[in-house]
Amino acid sequence: MLFSRTKVRDSTGFTLCGDYLDLRAAHETVHNIVNNSPVLTSQRHLDLNEFTLGLAYDIRKAYEQQREIINLDGADDKQVTYYGVDVAFPYFILQLAALRWACAFTVINRNQQSILYALEWAVESAMNDFDATVSSEIVERLSAFGNMLQSQNIDSIENEIDACWIQKKKRRFPELLELLVNLTTPSGIREIIERTKAKTDNNK
């Protein structure tokens, strides 16, 4: 079982949790989709390939017990051990969007499909803890985000996430939707590139 845990007043992201087998299966599913999708393995999309594999890296760190270890009470008062890793909302959502887009060009089985749904539910339930309306709008646009990612500058996207979400001190969760739209639309990414260029020129 994959599930999420959130922290009060910290809307940066959530903790993706699961037992060893479920996390291992999720890791293998992400790798399988990325490595077998003709679009993500093309020369044109190598940056998006690496960006998406970042999700597999985070999941692997979890089941290798290099992040969080969570002990919860199970049946008969026996403790059940889960493993977790902190992920930022924008990264996780766009990585899932890229996987959904890639699935349109490759064949996945029902088990892999169910794992993708489990990952999507993990982030959706985490977002629901902050704002269910915003969460619903983001989930509805997941496929659209994936379709637009293919033509974007991944370095610029990562820089913008860091500046406008990770490092931002006064962050409001509803701003997440606006950020994701800006990151995946041509006009939004142009503005991001222009801002980045202006900052670079000012630092010279």
Say if strands 10-18 and 79-88 run parallel, antiparallel, or are unpaired.
antiparallel
How large a percentage of the chain has pLDDT more than 90?
59
pTM of the model: 0.88
CB half-sphere exposure, 20, CA atoms < 13 A: 5
Banded pLDDT at 203 (limits 50, 70, 90): low
More confident residue, 169 or 14: 14
Mean confidence (pLDDT) of the chain: 88
Mean pLDDT of 171-196: 75
Residues near 51 by beta carbon (within 8 Å), at least 6 away in sequence:
94, 95, 98, 154, 157, 158
Read off the tokens for 146: 């994936």
How large a percentage of the chain has pLDDT more than 70?
89
pLDDT of residue 199: 56
CA 34-39-45 angle, to 5 degrees, is 85
* pLDDT tens-digit readout, 34-61: 999 988 888 788 899 999 999 999 999 9
* pLDDT tens-digit readout, 68-77: 999 887 767 7
Instruction: Give the total number of structural domains in the chain.
Output: 1
Question: Of the ranges 4-18, 65-79, 112-126, which one carries the lowest mean pLDDT score?
Answer: 65-79
* pLDDT tens-digit readout, 123-139: 999 999 999 999 999 99
Range of the domain at 173: 2-202
